[in-house]
Amino acid sequence: MRFEDQRQLLVKELYHNGISDPLVLHAFAKVPREAYVLPELREYAYRNQPLPIHLKQTISQPLMVALMLQHLELKPQDIVLEIGTGSGYEAALLAEIVSEVCTIERLEALSMNAKKILKEQGYKNIWFRIGDGALGWQKAYPPYEVFNKIVVSAAAPQIPDNLVAQLAVDGILVVPVGNSDYQILTKIRNANNDILTSEHGQCAFVPLITTC
Ligand code: SAH
């Protein structure tokens, strides 16, 4: 089956599994996941499962990415910070929906590779930084101090304070919180500087490697 047709089937699968945000479904219908997986795994690009990428990391499971994006309640004017660029797939999905995406990856080779693919795919609204994303967006261009939405694609041992501090008013942070075996997808909302936390089920991500 052609990749285009497989992509439409994946979108249907996401819809039947509770993804109803039209912006999220539209982004999944547009972004070619086969461009972000290892060439030898392209035939598996539309299976709803994580796949290995370089340096023992993974491209996350599509349904999990869709759930995180849906929890972010994305709006076209949003400026979004992503921690864990990895393959660049989630950055591409975000860049289809919002105005600007800032993405941090600790592994230089992954960041460079994602930057190359995302450039080839024509994105001009993604900014890259190499470093520890748990520190937040610092000493980087554009010099944003706060973000409307922040998403962490790796498992944090606890809610990262520096990221909560970079949430704009009404901003939302989505982060898997827990150890390497068991994490809870956690949503933090900065409601007029009242920090509201809610939990949204179990998930499995590679660990966030941080010095904080
Ligand atoms: N969003 C990615 C998922 C990548 S997996 C995708 O769509 O493919 C998580 C990524 O987080 C890995 O690439 C890992 O190297 C990175 N990571 C782990 N700890 C990090 C940290 N402290 N700062 C930035 N990136 C980190």
Which domains are seen in the chain, by residue range?
Answer: 3-203 (3.40.50.150)
Q: How far is residue 186's CA from residue 199's CA, in Å, rounded to a whole number?
A: 5
Q: Residues lining ligand 1, CB < 6 A?
A: 57-60, 83-84, 86-87, 89-90, 104-107, 110, 132-134, 153-154, 206, 208-210
Which residue is closest in CA terms to ligand 1's atom 19? 208
Q: How far is residue 68's CA from residue 158's CA, in Å, rounded to a whole number?
A: 17
Q: How far is residue 50's CA from residue 28's CA, in Å, rounded to a whole number?
A: 15
Of 20, 60, 153, 198, which one is the catalytic site residue? 60
pLDDT computed for residue 68 by the predictor: 98
- Pair of tokens at residue 133: 């994303």
pLDDT computed for residue 157 by the predictor: 96
pLDDT computed for residue 212 by the predictor: 82
**Which DSSP state fits 207?**
B
Q: How far is residue 206's CA from residue 189's CA, in Å, rounded to a whole number?
A: 24
pLDDT computed for residue 193 by the predictor: 76
Divide the 212 residues of the chain into consecutive groups of 10 and give the mean pLDDT of each group: 97 98 98 98 97 95 98 98 98 98 98 98 98 96 98 97 97 96 96 93 95 84
pTM for the predicted model, two decimal places = 0.98
Decide if 60 is catalytic: yes
Comparing CA positions, the residue from 165, 166, 161, 164 lying closest to residue 146 is 166
CA distance to 90, 163, 177, 190, per residue, from 101 (Å): 10, 15, 22, 19
Phi, psi of 185 (to 5 degrees): -70, 120
pLDDT computed for residue 192 by the predictor: 86
pLDDT computed for residue 197 by the predictor: 98
Q: How far is residue 37's CA from residue 5's CA, in Å, rounded to a whole number?
A: 18
